[in-house]
Amino acid sequence: MSAKEVKTGIHFINGDEACCEGALAAGCRFFAGYPITPATEVAESMSRRLPEIGGIYIQMEDEIASMAAILGASWGGVKSMTSTSGPGFSLMMENIGLGICTETPCVVCNVQRAGPSTGLPTLVAQGDMMQARWGSHGHYEIIALSPSSPQEMFDFTIRAFNLSEYYRLPVILLADETIGHMTERVVVPPEEEIEIVNRRKPAVSREEYLPYEADPDGIAPMANCGDGYRIHVTGLTHDERGYPAMDAKAQEKMVTRLVDKIRNNRDKIISTKNLFLDDAEVVVVSYGISARSSMQAVQDARREGIKAGLIKLDTVWPFPEDLIRAVAASSKTMIMAEINGGQMVLELERAACGACPVRLVSNYGGAILHPGLILSSIAKAAKGKL
């Protein structure tokens, strides 16, 4: 039996398995992880699939080690990922910061469950949105994608790898328990139709190469370990040579570049799916499983004659503030639907900047949002009630 790296065809699999297949299709050949509900199926799938195509699966002693190991593997030139849920995501924060600072491509899948702490291990939530954005110490920019179906688990995992390889940072796949455990049709396209991005390699000799000197678009070409460049990589603030530079000027320069390489390219990174925005008066903004509840609610509202619209955030970070600003200016009300006490709604309020009222439909986790709940919020907003 010869195992396939890309399982072209139509499958009936759950979101976690789709994530695994997406990773392999993107070229991932190293997975380090630790079992945790509801992300365990990603690791289990990887443990079966990677050895048969010449990759490495290793179960580490904890999530701290898992995150460290995928950074090491990435510097070894192998596309790498880990998967986890809330408690493990908390443990990964320190080394996600190392990945940001050293500009290490890799993918972290967080299949969110309800917290705080051990919370509800088997039940859905979307409570790690701000942790994904700000969880590691210091100032930085992050890229996070939020799939709303097993198909998107497959598609977005590939995109997460492509973004991580291009922009050189850990990219977060912010899934949730419902999407991870939901089984649906997943179409895996032929290998040649899948777009793959690989990290930019240095075009100069060892003597001329400066590991952290960026090209005009803000991205520095990356030499892997063993390429002969004898690189130094450190989590300390560093200069273009990669050497520690312990002063405010070097800090300003390094962090500015880490932030700008994402901010200045945000139009290329940000992806949303917009529904009925042309004439929408009440616009729901949502992501992940909540975007599916919202989609139902918006369609129901339309049937009732309410001019409702939807912005589904495929990328939650960076936040599409330009789009929101424009839509807010022509909307009566905007609504954020999410399974937490109100996290992305803060971003929505910030971006809408008072141009229209912003409402929140949410719960603290444990159950998905009922479309009826969102519909009634839309209906109230349409009547001008707050």
Candidates 70-78, 111-119, 256-264, 374-382 — which segment interacts with another protein by CB under 8 A? Answer: 70-78
Contacts of 118 (CB under 8 A, 6+ apart): 87
| 74 binding another protein? (CB under 8 A) | yes
Closer by beta carbon to another protein, 68 or else 282: 68
The end-to-end CA distance of the chain, in Å, is: 62
| 35 binding another protein? (CB under 8 A) | no
Question: Which residue from 235, 237, 211, 214 is spatially nearest to 225, judged by alpha carbons?
Answer: 211
Structural contact between residues 106 and 75, judged by C-beta atoms closer than 8 angstroms: no
Tokens for 382, please give them: 């349409």
Rounded to a whole number of angstroms, the minimum distance from the CB of residue 77 to another protein is 6
| 207 binding another protein? (CB under 8 A) | no
Distance CA 258, CA 22 (A): 27
| 1 binding another protein? (CB under 8 A) | yes
Closer by beta carbon to another protein, 230 or else 350: 230
Structural contact between residues 90 and 61, judged by C-beta atoms closer than 8 angstroms: no
Please give the size of the binding site for another protein, defined by CB under 8 A. 43
Backbone angles phi, psi at 248, to 5 degrees: -65, -35
Among 32, 132, 163, 351, binds another protein (CB under 8 A): 32
Rounded to a whole number of angstroms, the minimum distance from the CB of residue 169 to another protein is 16
Rounded to a whole number of angstroms, the minimum distance from the CB of residue 35 to another protein is 15
Give the residue carrying structure tokens 């960026």: 214
Question: Which residue from 276, 281, 282 is spatially nearest to 378, judged by alpha carbons?
Answer: 282
| 81 binding another protein? (CB under 8 A) | no
Candidates 6-14, 108-116, 233-241, 280-288 — which segment interacts with another protein by CB under 8 A? Answer: 233-241
Closer by beta carbon to another protein, 97 or else 288: 97
Rounded to a whole number of angstroms, the minimum distance from the CB of residue 240 to another protein is 13
Distance CA 60, CA 126 (A): 26
Rounded to a whole number of angstroms, the minimum distance from the CB of residue 316 to another protein is 26
Question: Which residue from 129, 93, 111, 106 is spatially nearest to 27, judged by alpha carbons?
Answer: 106
Q: Please state whether beta strands 308-313 and 272-275 pair in parallel, antiparallel, or not at all (unpaired).
A: antiparallel
| 210 binding another protein? (CB under 8 A) | no
Positions in 211-230 near another protein (CB under 8 A) = 225-230
| 51 binding another protein? (CB under 8 A) | yes
Distance CA 180, CA 19 (A): 8
Contacting residues toward another protein, per CB under 8 A = 1, 30, 32, 51-52, 56, 58, 60-62, 64-66, 68-78, 80, 94-95, 97-98, 225-236, 243-244
